[in-house]
Structure 1
Amino acid sequence: MLGLSQIFPSFDKLIFSQLSTERVAPFLFRNIKIEDTTGYEETFKSITLVIQERRKIKFHYKQKTYNEVCPYRLINDHGWWYLAAVHNGTLKSFKVLNIGNVAVSNHQFALQPEIEKQVTDGCLKWVTDSPIEIVLRIDSTIAGHFRKTNILPSQQLLKDLDDGSLLVTSSITDQKQIIPILKYWLPDIEILSPAELKQSLLVVAQT
């Protein structure tokens, strides 16, 4: 069993003693692994507390400034920490490693149940200037799982095929976001495009 100090950046009793047990937990885990978090310990702490306090924040992310952001949850997805937050009315996912200069507002926001559901279902828009669009064929033996749940990042159902299989699309910013998921579902999932991702999966599958 992993210790908390290995999972959370700069884990200490003070930060956890400030968390309310009467509110929604600020953390969500998906296929937990360990990430080197030494570069953003203070950012992680600040965001953890504002999630509980339901306060809007402002921060810099990939050379852009994001104002009036409503932080919902910190998500550990395959070892990487992401902030699920609403910006300009859209639920987005920000990699915590790239968040800087966090400023906390005095203004609070009300949690929206439909947004909470999107967060737990993984319906997040990854913030990037150059998203990678992926098209996959899901075998009929596992297609039901993908119809019921958004297993892939920004998953969209494209078409039901005559043989019971399914065409889906996904949008990512980094191959690391999806390679472990695809490997888990092999050999019942096929990448139709892009070719680079298909080659990367073949290499990983052989290791």
Structure 2
Amino acid sequence: MKKEYDKTAIRLASILFKLNQGEKLNKKQLAEEFNVHSRTISRDLDERLSFLPFVISQNTYTLPSSYLGKLRLEDINRFAKFASVKDLFGKIDQAFFQKYLTDSIIIKSYQAESIAHKQQEFDIINDAIQKKYLLKFSYKRVSQKEDKNRSFEVEPYKLVNNLGIWYLVALHDDKIKVFSITKISLPQVQNQKFEPNPLIVETIENGDGIYFEGVMDEVILKVSARVAVYFTRRAVLPNQEIVKEMTNGTLIVMCKKVHEQSILPLVRYWIPHVEIIAPDSMKIKLMQELQQYIESPSYTDSYTDS
């Protein structure tokens, strides 16, 4: 699913860039360029990008001269991401983009969680972010015993879509906290304004995930040759950088500015082919978690029964 969204967003960004430069686009030529069916290009132009004021002549699409060069690269990328996940809110039109296409919203991946049933709450939160007002809301916290609602008053910074799930990233009690949009109810914009901290904004925008407290400068991992191809083909790990490829095919991978909870679940998934080299604290924590799992009653009982 993610690959399809990636391909769609990249294709749409390229089409938008061409249009922004004044190129005249032909569906057949675009289909050949991107190696897709002509119906896919028709869907791009006639549905996903239908909000644009196209001038259509002799089977070519172009934009009026008054629109050329108006889009910045970040605008194009934001357009493409929203258009590729259009089912998040339903129909996309010019009014939609005027309302939502702002830097208050970040999409870190192209998977889609439909929050159409939360659009009113989403609008209120987005409005508070853009106008820089404090936000108060009720939040459903699930414990082992019961569901609990707790009231929060926060400085709202960004709406972030990460791995298909929508979150509000906000400052509460001088700490960056993350709230799932589907668990927020009764949001109310307060009368008090706040001044966003540029360092916090940079942290949220540059982070590859939704963990912002306790971020480590770097994590070093070793990837065995048996699975190396998956890591060279795409970034499996957050902020992944391949720093060395050994003669036997083993990779040394570095992940910068990451939280351990962004790394540990992935390492557990790839055991025994991925090993933590540094820091030692993370390596020890992983070993302790695995030991606890092996010694847990549910694990030992399953092998005793067999």
Please report the TM-score for the alignment, with normalisation by the length of structure 2. Answer: 0.44
The residue identity in structure 1 corresponding to 2:114 is D
C-alpha deviation, 1:149, in angstroms: 2.8
Do residues 41 (structure 1) and 119 (structure 2) align?
Answer: yes
Bigger helix share = 2
Aligned to 2:221: 138
Aligned to 1:149: 257
Aligned to 1:9: 89
Deviations 1:98-132 (A, max 9, x none): 0110011111111111111221233435xxxxxxx
CA contact (8 A) 2:220 2:253 kept: no
C-alpha deviation, 1:12, in angstroms: 5.7
Aligned to 1:204: none
CA contact (8 A) 1:58 1:103 kept: yes
Change (3 A) 1:53 1:187: farther
Deviations 1:169-195 (A, max 9, x none): 327xxxxx98679869x9435764645
For the pair shown, the structure with the greater C-alpha radius of gyration is: 2
Q: Which runs of 5+ in 2 are unaligned?
A: 1-7, 10-47, 49-82, 141-148, 214-218, 224-250, 277-285, 294-306
Paired residues for 1:119-198 under 5 Å:
119-122=204-207, 123-124=211-212, 138-139=221-222, 141-144=251-254, 146=255, 148-150=256-258, 155=259, 169-170=260-261, 187-188=273-274, 192=287, 194-195=289-290
Please report the TM-score for the alignment, with normalisation by the length of structure 1. Answer: 0.62
CA contact (8 A) 2:156 2:170 kept: yes
CA contact (8 A) 2:133 2:191 kept: yes
CA contact (8 A) 1:59 1:100 kept: yes
Number of aligned residues: 161
Aligned to 2:132: 54
Secondary structure, counterpart of 2:116 in structure 1: coil
Deviations 1:69-121 (A, max 9, x none): 11111111010000110011111110111011001111111111111122123
The residue identity in structure 2 corresponding to 1:170 is Q
Q: Using CA pairs under 8 Å that are at least 6 residues apart, name the structure with larger relative contact order, 1 or 2.
A: 1
CA contact (8 A) 1:15 1:45 kept: no
C-alpha deviation, 1:18, in angstroms: 4.3
Change (3 A) 1:106 1:41: same
> C-alpha distance in 2, partners of 1:143/1:82?
29
Bigger strand share = 1
Aligned to 1:115: 200
> C-alpha distance in 2, partners of 1:178/1:74?
25
> C-alpha distance in 2, partners of 1:36/1:18?
18
Stretch moving more, 78-87 or 26-35: 26-35
